[in-house]
Amino acid sequence: MNTRASSPTPLRNETLFQLLAVLGLVVLPHATHLPPWLTALVFSLGAWRWVAARQGLRLPVTWLRVPLTLLTLSAVFAHYGTLLGRDSGAALLIAMLGLKLLEVRETRDVYVVAFLGYFLIIIHFLFTQSMLMVAYMLVIVTLLTTVLIDLNRGRPTPLPVNLRLAGSLVGYALPLTLVLFVLFPRINGPLWGMPNDAYSGMTGLSDEMAPGRISQLSLSDAVAFRASFDDTLPLPQQRYWRGPVFTVTDGEGWRSGRRRDTAAIQSPSYRYFGKPLHYSVIVEPHNRAWLFALDLPASVPPASQITGDFQLLANQPLRERRRYDMTSYPDYRTGPLSDEERQRNLQLPAAGNPRARALAASWRRDTNSPLEIVQTALRMYREQHFVYTLSPPLIREEFVDGFLFDTRKGFCEHYAGSFAFLMRAAGIPARVVTGYQGGELNEIGNYLIVRQRDAHAWTEVWQDGVGWSRVDPTAAVAPERIERGIAPGLQGEGTAVRFEWTRDQLFNQVWRGLRHGWDALNTRWNQWVLGFDMQHQTQLLSRLSLAGFSWQTVATALMTLTGTVLALLVLRRLDAERRGGDPVTRLYQHFCKKLARRGLHRTVNEGPDDFAQRVSRARPDLARQIRSISALYIALRYGGHDPRLQLTRLRREVRAFRP
Amino acid sequence: MKSAIAAFGQPLWIRLGLNRFFPHAVPRGQQVTLDRRRIYALPTRYGILFAVMLFVMLLGSINYNNSLGFLLTFLLASMGLLSILYTYRNIARLTLSGGRAVPAFAGGVVRFVVQVHNDDRLPRSAIQLAVKNGEAVLNDFAAQDTVLVELRVPALKRGRLALGRITVSTVFPLGLVRAWSYADLEMHCLVYPQAGPYRPPPLTRRQDQGQHPGGNPGPDDFLGFRPYQAGDSIRHVHWKALARALPMLTKQFAASESPELWLEWSALPALDSEARLRQLCRWVLDAHRGGRAYGLRLPGLEIAPNQGEGHQQRCLEALALYQEARR
């Protein structure tokens, strides 16, 4: 028993320290995309606030804070060139958080800062949504909630007590969270325009092929897409994943001949032979329209189309993961070429690269057979000491000439570009195809992982009777590229490319196993958690035989379910506490409740004996029973009788008691 | 049938059971348990800010189709909803009962002691008890514990001061929701009139005896002992005798025998009634401090001369409640 006077609850230092520590954890992962000076600034502001609280220093006054705020804002603006957008928005929020720390004085400020902390977690999800982030989120939410709990306690409380309460709050909230996650009606976004940099982190092929573009990708381990095959895997030399096709060249770079909006998409004519390959592809978002398929695609996924040069194009740029089923035929023959198409595929700049043109003309003079010309060209690449390298020397002008006759060092885009140039100069219709080549088999999930470093460029030439056929000049120079793929990690400057290790190394095998297990797990995560959208929801609900119900119905059902879950939790919690204490107390409380229903309440400080006497006077008809029950209770509670025997009696009597 | 007619006489909102939504339906009694039906909950301004933040998060998640964004939004929303329960549970089934009340003079502070009992196994935290003019905070409150809370209420004017409706509220644990309930323990306390300025006490009736009216008896005027009577000043108890296990004796002084001092309403014709009461209060205090016997005469009320704590209290009470009902 104690008496306490009223007092306001000022912000305690322990609360502030906890808040600062948790905010450090909130900001830390953001350091990967923030400019280093901002990270340093925010951490030093937090450290300063810590010291200020410890030493009892005065907080800076307004005339100091305002210029500091303006200075920081202009620095963020100067760094990003804008204040709108994902990156600068995140930086702005973090800068504001750091500055806000300078004026954290009272309860209100802690709420503002803690809510900002919650908000920064979601901002971080715009950068990464890996599985580990969920664990991170749960930890941070629990810790921030601990701070709020500590804030609302009137006096210092041991951290574990607050942590346990926060943990139970998060734990109880999880089932409800999952219900909401699965059932909350999803709308297909976006609701408003996305900032331009929202997808800037996405890597992938570009819409033109300039020297150096693909070799940049070759350093990236990022996954481009995954493909799982229904029965047989394609052979390594068949794993050409067709992407953007380029027909227009300026002698150096290549680009797509037609703008998409003016493209007359024709249905290509072709014939297939042999067994088809059935597979499904889960492509990572790359902010472009193209979808990837093995040569030669024979089906068109929904919400997409196929162009005359066998490119699959989605109707919308891929801004989220997409899964589609495909059928391809490795053996095919395409139909005749229209005049317009022939002309487009023979296009060359009016002038330039005279040596290459002369070489092609000399081949043309020697033979009339396109096949022979192709083989002559490939023989040249193979026999004249061409080197396959990620960092080729810079060629300033006359790109094809410079490469073919001077440097002879290049990456696949050099080979594909120069080869197509030579073919066109020799009068053979040719074009450059970019995409991916290869893929790593994940034995655990039984699918091929194709990474950005598998990006590749090759050519197609057209011959009478055969149609378009693939020619890969890179294979002539570096056949290992096609068989094994480029090894991950750093590639030496100007040196020949190192290829993927062979599989007989034990360490390598174990490492691969781990990597593949993780990737298989991630794939499921991507498919079922991150990719959970309106389509998935409809699919899932229809599987639960809710099909045909409008989302309003589903939302109502959701509300009912949520309400039920909440009500159950309430009852559970209340019951758990009512049933508190030992069975003896519980039975006695039950007895008191029966009397209370007849208007005989036991007061807080009334002993069981006093109560029994008072109640017996009020109800002489029950006096005997009341005395017996009270005596039993007193004996069990305070006496040393055989508890088991007496307890049964007490239970029987309380049950039989009907006032 | 009878009850049906009785029910018909009640206002509609009571018949429909809506009265529990009205804060005026305050449970009264010496002991009040805050039960489920009388606990109200509404978001605090931080709760509203939190909801606005969740809405922005939801819009962001939809716009960016960000699954983990949805997950975080729903997690925080669920926690916010659950915190209503936690907050509600923090005050539910607390039992309040009235304790002592310490009277005060007008202008002072009355202290009401309220006993709060936590009957179940759930420890409670940060509960606020507030009345119209005062509040107290109950910090940590263990399971199955009883705590005495002192509510200090300024005594503004003399008379009977009702503690009034106590608002028991809490925002614990997250501060997003405030749950509250009312209890009226029907506690009252007296507020004596504020003591007026010093004024020489009135002359006694028996002036003919030639005694100086305000003469203070000194220790020399000690007369002897008489058996202790309830109401005798503790200062006059013969403690040494008590220590020797003799019956309680009261020392008698000459002043006790001196002519009684009558404190009279009619002696202050120049003042208005409240000022008279303040002056009488002052005289009562002075006379008591002086250890004299005194009597009090108010219109329609007379308290015979006597002395001691009990007597003083009776006089002060009479002053506090003088024409209380009419005010």
DSSP B26-65: --BSSEEE--GGG-EEEE-HHHHHHHHHHHHHHHHHHHHT
Q: Is A135 on the interface with B (CB under 8 A)?
A: no
Of A129, A172, A570, the CB nearest to B68: A129
Q: Which residue of A has its CA nearest to B46?
A: A111
Contacts of B174 in chain A (CB under 8 A): 145, 148-149, 152, 169
Residue A411 CB neighbours (<10 A): 25
Closest-CA residue of chain A to B63: A190
B317: amino acid identity, one letter:
E
Beta strands in A329-364 (DSSP E): 331-334
Say whether A172 and B82 touch across the interface (CB within 8 A). Answer: yes
> Would you state the structure tokens that stand for residue A157, as one six-digit string?
């409380």
- pLDDT bracket for residue B73 (50, 70, 90): very high
What pLDDT score does B210 carry? 41
Q: Write down the pLDDT at residue B22.
A: 53
Tokens of A449: 């992982």
Residues 556-575 of A with CB under 8 A from B: 566, 569-570, 573-574
> Which residue is closest to B137 within chain A, CA to CA?
A6
Rg (CA), chain A: 37
Question: Cβ of A3 and B148 within 8 Å?
Answer: yes
A121, A169, A192 member nearest B86 (Cβ): A169
Q: How many CA atoms lie within 13 A of B287 on its CB side?
A: 33
Say what the alpha-carbon torsion angle A601, A607, A611, A614 is, to the nearest 10 degrees.
-120
pLDDT of residue A146: 95
Closest CA to B181 of B193, B173, B170: B170
Chain A contact set for B166 (CB, 8 A) = none
The answer to whether A321 touches A284, Cβ cutoff 8 Å, is yes
A320 closest CB neighbour out of B65, B125, B147:
B65
Cα separation, A107 vs A101, whole angstroms: 13
Cross-chain CB nearest to A126 (options B64, B76, B140): B64
Considering only CB atoms, which chain B residues are within 8 Å of A581?
A: 121
Phi-psi region of B185 (alpha: psi -120 to 50; beta: other; left: phi over 0): alpha
Write the single-letter amino acid at B139. N
CB-count exposure of residue A316 (10 Å: 0-12, 13-18, 19+): exposed
**For B55, which residue in chain A has the nearest alpha carbon?**
A119
Distance from CA of A200 to the nearest CA of B (A): 14
CB atoms within 10 A of CB A405: 14
The pLDDT, as a whole number, for residue B43 is 93
Q: Closest to B175 (Cβ–Cβ): which among A111, A133, A578?
A: A111
Distances (CA, A) of B203 to A146, B123, B212, B247, B290: 71, 62, 9, 37, 15
Closest alpha carbon to A121 in A25, A21, A17: A25
Q: Which residues of B touch A186 (CB under 8 A)?
A: 62
CB contact at 8 A, B186 and B97: no
Which regions of chain A are under pLDDT 50?
Answer: 1-8, 259-265, 488-494
B4 Cα to chain A: minimum distance (Å)? 21
**Is residue A509 a contact partner of residue A503, using CB atoms and an 8 Å limit?**
yes
Measured between CA atoms, the residue of chain B closest to residue A161 is B123
A3 touches chain B (CB under 8 A): yes
Secondary structure (3-state) at A168? helix
Closest residue in A to B95 (Cα–Cα): A604
Q: Return the number of other C-beta atoms located less than 10 Å from residue B219's C-beta.
A: 8
Dihedral over alpha carbons A129, A135, A140, A141 (to 10 degrees): 90
Measure the CA–CA gap between A414 and A432, rounded to whole angstroms. Answer: 11
How many angstroms separate the CA of residue B120 from the nearest CA in chain A? Answer: 6
Segment B268-305, tens digit of pLDDT: 888 888 888 999 999 899 888 888 888 998 888 888 88
Residue A248 main-chain phi, psi, to 5 deg: -110, 130
Q: For residue A352, give every residue at least 6 positions away whose Cβ sits within 8 Å of its Cβ, in sequence order, or none.
A: A251, A398
**pLDDT of res. A490:** 42
Between the alpha carbon of residue A272 and those of residues A313, A335, A466, the distances in Å are 21, 11, 12
Distance between CA atoms of residues B150 and B144, nearest Å = 20
Following DSSP, what letter does each residue of A560-587 receive, concatenated? HHHHHHHHHHHHHHHHHHHT-S-HHHHH
* Cα distance between residue B82 and residue A6, in whole Å: 29
- The two structure tokens encoding residue A628: 């017996």
The whole-angstrom distance between A503's CA and the closest CA on chain B is 37
Predicted TM-score (pTM) of the model is 0.65
- Report the gap between the CA of B21 and the closest CA in chain A (Å): 20
Question: Quick one: pLDDT at residue A491?
Answer: 47
Among the partner-chain residues B59, B173, B175, the one whose CB lies closest to the CB of A165 is B173
Integer Cα distance of A215 and A106 in angstroms: 55
Cα within 13 Å of Cα(A60), Cβ side: 15
Contact call for B136 and A6, based on CB within 8 A = yes
Q: What is the pLDDT of residue A118?
A: 94
pLDDT of residue B21: 53
Report the catalytic residues of A: 412, 456, 472
- Which pLDDT score, from 0 to 100, does residue A141 have? 95
pLDDT at residue B2 greater than cutoff 60: no
Domain range summary for chain B, segments of one domain joined by +: 16-192, 214-321
* Beta pairing, strands B134-141 & B124-131: antiparallel
Residue A272 at interface with chain B, using a CB cutoff of 8 Å: no
How far A155 CA sits from the closest chain B CA (Å)?
Answer: 7
Which residue from B minimizes the CA distance to A533?
A: B65
Q: Kindly indicate whether the ipTM for this predicted assembly is greater than 0.85, answering yes or no.
A: no
CB contact under 8 A, B175 and A152: yes
- Looking at residue A10, what is its pLDDT? 66
Cβ–Cβ < 8 Å for B227, B250? yes
Shortest distance, CA A42 to any CA of chain B (angstroms):
23
Inter-chain CB proximity A604 and B95 less than 8 Å: yes
For chain B, the residue count is: 327
* Structure confidence at residue B175 (pLDDT): 92
Q: Across the interface, do B175 and A176 touch by the CB < 8 Å criterion?
A: no
Inspect the interface and report whether the beta carbons of A111 and B70 lie closer than 8 Å: no
Cβ atoms of A457 and A470 closer than 8 Å: no
β-bridge pairing A3-4 and A248-249? unpaired
* Chain B residues touching residue A2 (CB < 8 angstroms): 147-148
Q: Which residues lie below 8 Å from residue A27, measured CB to CB, with a gap of 6+?
A: A39, A42, A43, A94, A97, A120
Do B109 and B155 contact (CB within 8 A), yes or no? yes
- Terminal-to-terminal C-alpha distance of chain A: 35
Q: Do A173 and B46 touch (CB under 8 A)?
A: no
A436-493 residue pLDDT tens: 988 888 777 778 888 888 888 899 999 888 888 899 888 888 777 665 565 544 444 4
- Higher-pLDDT residue of A99, B64: A99
Distance between CA atoms of A227 and A240, rounded to whole angstroms? 13
Residues of chain B in contact with residue A574, where contact means CB-CB under 8 angstroms, are 89, 92
Six token digits for residue B270: 């120049």
Interfacial A residues in 399-458 facing B (CB < 8 Å):
none
Instruction: Give chain A's count of helices (H) and strands (E).
Output: 22, 21
Chain B contact for A577 (CB, 8 A cutoff): yes
- Give residues 46 to 65 of A whose Cβ lies within 8 Å of B: none
Size of interface A-B (CB pairs under 8 A): 194
Asked if A173's CB is within 8 angstroms of B82's CB, the reply is: yes
Do A169 and B75 make contact, defined as CB atoms within 8 angstroms?
no
Length of chain A: 659
Cβ–Cβ under 8 Å, residues A451 and A218: no
- The closest alpha carbon to A227, from A437, A453, A447, belongs to A447
The backbone torsions φ and ψ at residue B139, rounded to the nearest 5 degrees and listed phi first, read -85, -95
CA distances for A231 relative to A275, A279, A331, angstroms: 11, 8, 17
Residue A158 structure tokens: 């041991």
CA distances from B287 to B128, B212, B255, B271, B305 (A): 42, 14, 11, 21, 11
